[in-house]
Structure 1
Amino acid sequence: MRNSDGPLWVEYLTAMLNDADLYTFARVGATVNNSLVFRPQPDFSGQVYRYTLTEDTTEPKYDKLYFIWLGGNDIAELYNNKKYPNNNVERDRILNDTQFTIRYNLEKLYETGARYIICLGVNPTHLYPANNDKTEEFRQSYKESIMKFNERLQTNIEDLNSRHNDSKAVFFETYKLFYSFFPEQTIMENSKWHCNYSAICNG
């Protein structure tokens, strides 16, 4: 299932890698663990489980690269779905618990032979246009949750490498990279309006 007006970032990447084969088990809108933050899509655990059932798990992994991008939907749901507690202590507890799920599934991937894993951090989604009508306090709290999630995810990756000498997992800092790509004025302008499927968006 796609949620894009054009090629996805990973499709651009595969083209840059001499049209490398691309296998995706991701589901748009998914969270890390549906028992912690629910959405109707198969969660990260379910996606990893589906992968472990494929023949790919028995093939050599020396030339295979695994990309994992998660956390953004969890944070969005915790801040925008009223069924979740409206306080930072509970949000922090839930997001911390998602890291245990991530750790478990990173180990599952390692057990299948995955060695080259790139986990992308959550980008500055507190500045999405959907949050433009929220208070500054709301956006600041949202931002802090992103930063904490990314820090814990990076620690998870470092822990995986420390447990396994042959693991080459990497945490990719999308949050800071986003700010290095775009001037702050452009970021703030884009936080206030949506492209509405225009051919060319600002920036």
Structure 2
Amino acid sequence: MSVDTAGTSPAAHAPGPAPVKVLIVGPFGVGKTTCIGSISEIEPLTTEERITSLSAATDDLSSTPHKTTTTVAMDFGRLTLSDELVLYMFGTPGQQRFKELWEELARGALGALVLVDPEPERLKQSFDVLDLVEQFGLTYAIGVNYFDERRLFPLSEVREALNVSQETPVVACDVRDRNSAGQALITLVQHLLTRLG
């Protein structure tokens, strides 16, 4: 079947911004949903459910005692960086019991922003996430999410503790702040462009 394109405006064939799929990943309660909510230019899609006594028995809430909901499938948001580039952000659940969702979410993704909490006990929870990111061959940057009440750890110490290469960007951010979270994502995109270039 042929389609008559006579009279079609040239603008109809003009290419739009290139879509880039990235993941926002990290352990339970590190701020993935908050990050996407802070910077998405559209109303973010979330799959938040209330934490019940059943999940509380499985998920460690000791470091996040005020957390009342958790992501059970994914979060989704969009951020246009320029006329040439738009990011589609997919937030993954942080709990190990949801890791089977990663294969679907990682398909087609160019990279990942790995959010970590720099507190030593919480930082250890990032290793399983980093293993999955590397298993799926994703280029990544580390976003060290500093919470107001937490100590500030030098980024060099966080890099050393996570044992990531010197070429992997490690940046400080506050995912509640649009500019700060956006800069962490821009760092990831710049790293992706360097690797692809």
TM-score of the two chains, using structure 2 as the length reference: 0.38
Structure with greater helix percent: 1
TM-score of the two chains, using structure 1 as the length reference: 0.37
* Structure with the greater alpha carbon radius of gyration: 2
Structure with greater strand percent: 2
